[in-house]
Amino acid sequence: MQKFDTKVQYLKYQVLREVARHAWDDTLMESVLDIPKTIAPGPAPTMRCCVYKERAILAERMKLAMGGGSSDNIIQVIDIACDDCPAVGYEVTSSCRGCLAHRCESACKRGAISFDHHHEAHIDKAKCVECGMCAKVCPYSAIVNRKRPCQAACKIKAISIKEDNCAQIDDEACIQCGACVYQCPFGAITDRSYLINVIDMLKRSCDNSRYKVYALVAPAIGSQMAYAKLGQVIAGIKKLGFHTVVEAALGADMVAQTESRELVEKGFLTSSCCPAFVRYVKTAFPALTAHISHNQSPMATLAKYIKGRDKDAKIVFIGPCTAKKAEAQLADVKPYVDAVITFEELQALFDSRDIELNALEEDVLDNASYFGRIFARSGGLSDAVVEALKEEHMDGFSVKACVCDGIEECRAALLRKSKEALDANFIEGMACVSGCIGGAGNLTHGEKNKAAVDRYGREAMEKTIADAVSVLR
């Protein structure tokens, strides 16, 4: 079964794997200049114009894989990898047959469409406002929108084009969701990695004798690495040297309970689990900041609990999320979470140690309830809050949730709320479409992933939130 959706992910993975391999062996410093050559051996190029450009780009990828980069942002553009895609907007293609109907002309409210002597349509860019109505009505699909995939992916419009035609991220506006990372067909945008920090942490623990390294895995794991059994993935994580693996979904159970109480107390709330959403509210709708739930995210909540009992613990969050890497650097989260890596990076870690998941005996993972686990998909958080209220017999309060699937829907809901025109008392904000299973750090994104997470949820031993969190008292 294929491990990745795209060849770009595979390329990024190869770099991470090689960096990890040398980091384990303490040979990273002397091999730094050789790694690009092992990935692009040449002499013929396989991706770009020549093997030297390929290697130059690989060297840039390595910088980010080793935690470096040109700015503090998690998401960064590799300038020399950017293909300067055309970004002309709506354009009439050669598929235009010069028909008689001229639906495009009628649809255009700005009068931007004219016809040449072959009756073929043309768009006057000075008049066009990129509404797309002409493209919608053309029976031959002859009008296309040539947008840069990165800009199309970035719904909050944090990507612009520099004078040299290369893409540029506005670090202030960027919410670190990673949508552009997954969508750029040239792999020119990527997320900075903390993989070597994790390897260092594992090595220095001396087999968890000096301190224990805990892996907190996000519930989206239920949809990932489908080529092996979940129990084998857990066994693999322990084989890497982690003391144990705990479900971040247990943190989600904890959050569902406290968040439902907070909702009743305040009457209106937005969720705070998705760090990209939280950052978006703070930067784009600062007036609504007070409505963000005061709960920390499930990751931070559970990490704090563990460190409260094991003060020397080191905590590594493994999930589908690039924004979590930024969350872990926030002042109120930093003391609890020591590093964040993605599932993509976990795969690279496994392969850097030649760990074949299919050959391992199954271990177990069971800390959370069904409700904590379904936080991984859109709608799950709202379901959990409703359940928590039911379990606490706060039936008098009725939750009217506005489930926002993706940052565009979040924006619409926040806009309505800022005008006091939102008919809801709870906003579930998830920056990625489908929720965490749509996150940029997943190996695969597919139709079946939601069903996979629900199935994983139903397999939980604890059926209620109260039962799952009762062990923590």
Partner 1 sequence: MKITVCIGSSCHIKGSRLVVEQLQYLIAENKLGDEIELGGTFCMGKCQQGVCVMVDDQLFSVSPETVREFFEKNVKPKFA
Interface with partner 1 by CB under 8 A: which residues?
A: 208, 214, 234, 243-247, 306, 309-310, 363-367, 461-462, 467, 470-473
* 37 vs 463, beta carbon nearer partner 1: 463
Residue 51 beta carbon to partner 1: minimum distance, rounded to whole angstroms: 47
- The amino acid at 13: Y
Tell me how far apart the alpha carbons of residues 238 and 60 are, in angstroms, rounded to a whole number. 31
CA distance 63 to 442: 21
Helix ranges (H only) for 340-379 are 343-352, 370-373
Q: Which is nearer to partner 1, 412 or 461 (CB)?
A: 461
- Three-state SS string over 227-286 comes to CCCHHHHHHHHHHCCCCEEEEHHHHHHHHHHHHHHHHHHHCCEECCCCHHHHHHHHHHCH
CB of 381 to partner 1, least distance (A): 23
Cα–Cα distance, 279 to 275 (Å, whole number): 6
Q: Which residues contact 40 (CB under 8 A, 6 or more apart)?
A: 46, 47, 51, 54, 55, 58
Q: Shortest CA distance to 88 belongs to which of 143, 137, 36, 153?
A: 143
216 or 427: CB nearest partner 1: 216
Q: How far is the CB of 215 from partner 1 (least distance, A)?
A: 10
CB closer to partner 1, 93 vs 470? 470
Kindly state the smallest distance separating residue 237's Cβ from partner 1, in Å.
12
- Measured from the CB atom, the residue of 345 and 462 that comes closer to partner 1 is 462
Rounded to a whole number of angstroms, the minimum distance from the CB of residue 298 to partner 1 is 15
Dig out the tokens for 1 from the structure: 């079964």
Distance in angstroms between the alpha carbons of the first and the last residue of the chain: 42
* Two tokens, residue 38: 């092992």
Query: How many residues are there in the chain?
Result: 473
Q: How far is the CB of 310 from partner 1 (least distance, A)?
A: 7
CB of 471 to partner 1, least distance (A): 4
Its sign, for the CA torsion 79, 80, 85, 86, is: positive
Tokens of 409: 């829907």
Give the three-state DSSP class for 434: coil
The helix-helix angle for 298-309 and 248-266 (nearest 10°) equals: 110
Residue with tokens 């590594």: 316
Q: Using the minimum distance from each CB to partner 1, give the nearer residue, 157 or 473.
A: 473
Cα angle: 79, vertex 82, 84; to 5 degrees:
120
Smaller CB separation from partner 1, 290 or 471: 471
Nearer to partner 1, 29 or 471 (CB): 471
Q: How far is the CB of 376 from partner 1 (least distance, A)?
A: 18
Residue closer to partner 1 (CB basis): 11 or 365: 365
Hey, CA dihedral for 307, 193, 276, 327, is it positive or negative?
Answer: positive
- Provide, rounded to whole angstroms, the least separation between the CB of residue 198 and partner 1: 18
Closest CA to 121 of 91, 149, 146, 150: 91
**Short-list 69, 72, 61, 75, CA closest to 13:** 61
Beta carbon of residue 85, minimum distance to partner 1 (angstroms, whole number)? 46
Q: Which residue, 281 or 316, is less far from partner 1 as judged by CB? A: 316
